[in-house]
């Protein structure tokens, strides 16, 4: 019966039956956020300022859904300094800890960083009301629930980090709608399932992709070669099967590639990997690769970090062409029982004569029958 409550309820409900139903559910994050905004918010936003009400309400829902507001056990609610800028304080929400706004758009929220915030629970759909949000970072928390596919409707997103949480379920093809997405990091969500969505390969400016340790299965799509701007990609520690597509050699901007610890079908390495002109790290450890080590890897002239081929089923000799990688810091070949012959002098010289920068060279003491 409170006029202020009724007015704010109508504003933040935005005519959505789902939003209003959540608000009317006792003890829901939405109900708690509305009560705070109506009765306890020291800022007392005017009911006529609808955009401000919706934005502040959306962040308050996020707080009540993910943070322990009652105890204040989060760096966002009870920071060791700048208490005046804690979430749910009297400060404008653009001044709350790790919330950034663009003043050019009347103080609209652009970035929300809740990393290491002791967050748990599920991400509420009210996040969609932050219509200019570009960066959302909730890494290293205990957030759970099905993967929040409503994020794919937030087409202003440029950076999305959901890593090290407890999300479940799979990603939908609708991710293709995020045409401005540059960073997509969801590693270490072990309860996820499903395959790599083809829609992911339609993101034209994607720079960083980390899907490691996400319970993914199926094959690596050939469309992976469409990610022409990607510089860092990790698909390791999943259950990916099939073969490594040759199209991966198209990715000329790639600097860091991790594909190890999967269940590939004893596949040979495509020679096209030698076309990765910008690669500095190539990690294929325990990927169930087989056959000869391609001599074309010797063309990776910018490889300045590591070439990791350990724990596979490679056969034959180690190519002498790898001795051209004079900027490499480490090469690892151990636990490939099918390798034969001896370590090429061209590689050993990188360690022993100062002919290169190689610091780490590991291999089984006996490569195989000479």
365: pLDDT strictly greater than 60: no
Looking at residue 82, its pLDDT comes to 61
Q: How confident is the model at residue 1 (pLDDT cuts 50, 70, 90)?
A: confident
C-alpha distances out from residue 69 to 171, 182, 222, 273, Å: 30, 32, 46, 51
Q: What is the CA radius of gyration of the chain?
A: 25
Indicate the domain borders of the chain.
Answer: 86-360
Contacts of 250 (CB under 8 A, 6+ apart): 225, 228, 272, 275
Count CB atoms within 10 A of the CB of residue 102: 14
| Summary mean pLDDT of the chain | 94
What's the rounded Cα separation, in Å, for the pair 94 and 173? 33
Q: How confident is the model at residue 148 (pLDDT cuts 50, 70, 90)?
A: very high
357: pLDDT strictly greater than 70: yes
Summarised one tens digit per residue, pLDDT across range 109-138 is 999 999 999 999 999 999 999 999 999 999
Q: How confident is the model at residue 370 (pLDDT cuts 50, 70, 90)?
A: very low
Q: Which DSSP string corresponds to 259-325?
A: --SS---SEEPPGGGGG-TT-SEEE-TTS-EEEEPPGGGGG-TT--SEEE--SSEEEEPPPGGGGG-
Q: How confident is the model at residue 266 (pLDDT cuts 50, 70, 90)?
A: confident
80: pLDDT strictly greater than 90: no
**What superfamily does domain 86-360 belong to in CATH?**
Ribonuclease Inhibitor (3.80.10.10)
């Amino acid at each position: 019966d409170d006029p202020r409550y009724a007015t704010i309820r109508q504003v933040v409900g935005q005519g959505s039956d789902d939003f209003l139903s959540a608000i009317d559910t006792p003890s829901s994050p939405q109900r708690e956020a509305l009560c705070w905004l109506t009765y306890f918010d020291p800022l007392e936003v005017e009911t006529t300022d609808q955009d401000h009400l919706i934005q502040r309400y959306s962040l308050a829902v996020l707080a009540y859904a993910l943070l322990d507001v009652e105890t204040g056990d989060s760096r966002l609610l009870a920071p060791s300094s700048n208490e005046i800028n804690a979430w749910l304080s009297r400060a404008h929400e653009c001044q709350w800890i790790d919330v950034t706004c663009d003043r050019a758009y009347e103080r609209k929220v652009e970035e929300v960083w809740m990393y290491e915030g002791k967050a748990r629970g599920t991400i509420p759909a009210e996040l969609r009301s932050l219509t200019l949000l570009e960066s959302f970072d909730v890494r290293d928390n205990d957030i759970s629930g099905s993967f929040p596919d409503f994020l794919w409707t937030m087409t202003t997103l440029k950076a999305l980090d959901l890593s090290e949480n407890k999300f479940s379920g799979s990603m939908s093809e609708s991710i293709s709608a995020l045409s401005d997405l540059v960073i997509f990091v969801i590693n270490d969500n072990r309860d996820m399932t499903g395959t790599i969505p083809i829609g992911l390969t339609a993101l034209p400016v994607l720079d960083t992709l980390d899907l490691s340790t996400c319970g993914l299965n199926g094959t690596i799509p050939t469309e992976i070669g469409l990610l022409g701007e990607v510089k860092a990609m990790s698909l390791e520690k999943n259950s990916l099967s099939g073969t490594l597509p040759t199209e991966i050699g198209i990715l000329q901007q790639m600097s860091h590639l991790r594909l190890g610890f999967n269940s590939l079908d004893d596949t040979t390495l495509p020679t096209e990997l030698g076309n990765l002109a910008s690669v500095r790290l190539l990690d294929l450890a325990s990927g169930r690769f087989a056959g000869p080590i391609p001599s074309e890897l010797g063309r990776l002239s910018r490889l300045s970090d590591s070439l990791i081929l350990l724990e596979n089923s490679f056969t034959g000799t180690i190519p002498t062409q790898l001795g051209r990688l004079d900027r490499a810091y480490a090469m690892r070949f151990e636990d490939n029982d099918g390798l034969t012959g001896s370590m090429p002098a061209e590689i050993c010289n990188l360690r022993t004569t100062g002919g290169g920068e190689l610091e780490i060279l590991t291999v089984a003491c006996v490569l195989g029958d000479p």
